[in-house]
Amino acid sequence: MQRTTAKALAVLVSLVIGSVALSGCTDSGPSTASDGSAAMPSASPTPHFDPDDTLWTIASTGEHLTLDDPDVQALQQVVALHSGASDNRTPSTVADSVAAEERFFSPLFLDKLAGEDYADAVTAMYVDNDLSIAQTGVAWTASTIDADRQHATVGFESLFTIVSASDGFLHELGADAGDEFAQPREYTLTKVEGAWFIDDIAKGPLRAAATTP
C-alpha cells in the first residue's frame, strides 16, 4: 500500500494543532492506545477538578461558575469523552474511534465533516502510515457559557504521544516515536433538548508538549 505521508501530514496539522498556554490542572493518563469507543470511556484520562480554581464564567456578565454547576459538569464530560475517542487511535481502531467521537457532534457539524470526507481522511492517515497515538494528559483553559445556557465555548488542551508510525511519516513530521505533543482546542457546543453537542472545534499550531508557547 502506498504511504500517503504528505496528505497525512496535512490532515494531521489540521486535526492536531495548538499554541495556547496550559491552564488548570493536567492529569497523567494511560500510556497505551485504546479504541475510544463508547463502551470504553476510560480511554480518556479523568480530568482533575479543583473546586477553588474554576475557569468557567457566564459570557455576558463574567460571573464565575463553580465546578459543581450541572452545565459545567455536562460540558466537561462531553469534551473529555470526545478527546478520549479522538486521541487514542491505531490503524485497527481508527474507524471505531471516529464513529465514537461523532456521537458527540451536532447534526450540522456532522454534515460539515461528511462534506469534507472527514472519516475517510482520518482513517487513511492512520492506516496508510501505521500511525498509533495515545492520550497522556488533559488540561482545561478558560471557558464560557452564554447567559441563556444554550451555547458554550470550552477551552481544553490534550496531550498525546505518537506511539508508532511509519518512518516516512515521522520524517515528514520531524518527530520520533514516543514524542509527546500538545493540542489546545476551543470547542463550541450547543444544547439540544437538554444535552450538549459539539458544533465546531477550532485549533492552532502543533507544538511539542515539553515546550511553552
Considering its fold, how many domains does the chain have in total?
1
Residue 209 lies in a domain: no
Q: Is the predicted pLDDT of residue 19 greater than 50, yes or no?
A: no
Quote the pLDDT of residue 213: 57
Quote the pLDDT of residue 211: 59
Q: Give the pLDDT band of residue 60 (cuts 50, 70, 90).
A: very high
- Our CA dihedral for 59, 63, 66, 71, rounded to 10 degrees, sits at -40
Mean pLDDT score, 12-24: 33
Residue 70 lies in a domain: yes
Residue 210 lies in a domain: no
Q: Is the predicted pLDDT of residue 65 greater than 90, yes or no?
A: yes
Residue 97 lies in a domain: yes
Residue 104 sits in which domain range?
A: 5-204
Quote the pLDDT of residue 50: 52
Could you tell me the three cell numbers for 17?
494543532
Q: Is the predicted pLDDT of residue 77 greater than 80, yes or no?
A: yes
Residue 211 lies in a domain: no
Residue 48 lies in a domain: yes
Residue 165 lies in a domain: yes
Mean pLDDT score, 128-139: 96
Q: Give the pLDDT band of residue 53 (cuts 50, 70, 90).
A: low
Distance CA 146, CA 22 (A): 23
Mean pLDDT score, 69-96: 97
Q: Can you tell me whether residue 24 is helix, strand or coil?
A: coil
Tens digit of pLDDT for each residue in 181-213?
A: 999 999 999 999 999 999 999 987 778 887 555
Q: Give the pLDDT band of residue 23 (cuts 50, 70, 90).
A: very low
Quote the pLDDT of residue 133: 97
Could you tell me the three cell numbers for 203?
485549533
Q: What is the pTM of this model?
A: 0.76
Distance CA 71, CA 128 (A): 40
Q: Can you give the CATH number for the domain in which 173 is found?
A: 3.10.450.540
**DSSP string across 19-33:** -----S--EE--SS-
What's the chain's average pLDDT?
Answer: 81
Residue 213 lies in a domain: no
Q: Is the predicted pLDDT of residue 163 greater than 70, yes or no?
A: yes
Q: In this predicted model, which residue has the larger pLDDT, 122 or 173? A: 122
